[in-house]
Amino acid sequence: AQSVTQPDIHITVSEGASLELRCNYSYGATPYLFWYVQSPGQGLQLLLKYFSGDTLVQGIKGFEAEFKRSQSSFNLRKPSVHWSDAAEYFCAVVTNAGGTSYGKLTFGQGTILTVHP
Amino acid sequence: EPEVTQTPSHQVTQMGQEVILRCVPISNHLYFYWYRQILGQKVEFLVSFYNNEISEKSEIFDDQFSVERPDGSNFTLKIRSTKLEDSAMYFCASSEALAGWTGSSTDTQYFGPGTRLTVL
């Protein structure tokens, strides 16, 4: 079964610093990968997604993520963090055609981002 | 921009009572999902729904749970007899196509803001 690991439960950065949130997946076929963000008291907002093609994908709010098949990773990056980026970030994977479990997103445990002024 | 809406935002109920959580998916979407997030834990898949049938359900989705699309716009999750451990945030999501099927943007699931269910 597919699984997603976010090794960092909590990350603290200073405003203006760069950010990288790690995500590793375990899945045999081509994964479809997503990053969602959840602000306090809010729902899940899609930041970006990877289906195929260019392995570096751009998302909203200045975020980008790079798919590395050799490392089974899909790390989220931002060159300069803003205080409003403080939230919880979730990596997720869905199986592709040929799999046995369509439609089901499997989430990582989330990374809480704290931004210091 | 179209969005998924959910009501109520917070539901408090007594153990053993029935609750119905409501969702209005994005209008041209055909696939609907429920997820839940127990406080401090991962977001977990509960069920997917298409063409008035359940496509897939998780182990969590036992006989106490049911889903329905009673009309052309609403999608509901019913818990027949709530337990303390049902306390969680419940998220509804929808997509144009079944996530993972086409490999295109139409697979993307859009989430609602959630309903926080508290069982006392």
Q: Is the residue at B106 inside a domain?
A: no
- What are residue B17's phi and psi, to 5 degrees? -85, 160
Place of tokens 């182990």: B59
B8 cis-preceded (ω within 30 degrees of 0) = yes
Q: Please report, for the domain that includes residue B43, its CATH number.
A: 2.60.40.10
What's the DSSP call for residue B74?
A: -
Q: Is the residue at B103 inside a domain?
A: no
User: Are residues A107 and B42, on separate chains, in Cβ contact within 8 Å?
Assistant: yes
Q: Is the residue at B39 inside a domain?
A: yes
Q: How many structural domains does chain B have? A: 1
Q: Which residues of chain B are within 8 Å of residue A102 when distances are taken between CB atoms?
A: 48, 55-56, 98-101
Going by C-alpha positions, the residue among A37, A69, A31, A75 that lies closest to residue A57 is A75
Q: Is the residue at B105 inside a domain?
A: no
Q: Please report, for the domain that includes residue A108, its CATH number.
A: 2.60.40.10
Q: How many structural domains does chain A have? A: 1
Say if B9 is an interface residue toward chain A (CB within 8 Å): no
What is the rounded CA–CA span in Å between residue A101 and residue A28? Answer: 13
Q: Is the residue at B93 inside a domain?
A: yes
With cut-offs at 50, 70 and 90, classify the pLDDT of residue B107.
Answer: confident
Q: What tens digit of pLDDT does each residue of A58-107 get?
A: 999 999 999 999 999 999 999 999 999 999 999 998 865 444 556 688 89
**Min distance A26 CA to chain B CA atoms (Å):** 16
Q: Is the residue at B26 inside a domain?
A: yes
**Given a cut of 60, is residue B84 above it in pLDDT?**
yes
Q: Is the residue at B94 inside a domain?
A: yes
What is the rounded CA–CA span in Å between residue A84 and residue A74? Answer: 23
> Residue B92's domain spans which residues?
5-98+111-119
With cut-offs at 50, 70 and 90, classify the pLDDT of residue B103.
Answer: low
**Min distance B104 CA to chain A CA atoms (Å):** 7
Going by C-alpha positions, the residue among A73, A25, A59, A98 that lies closest to residue B102 is A98
CA dist list (Å): A29 to A1, A52, A71, B111: 11, 12, 14, 25
> Residue A32's domain spans which residues?
3-116
Q: Is the residue at B52 inside a domain?
A: yes
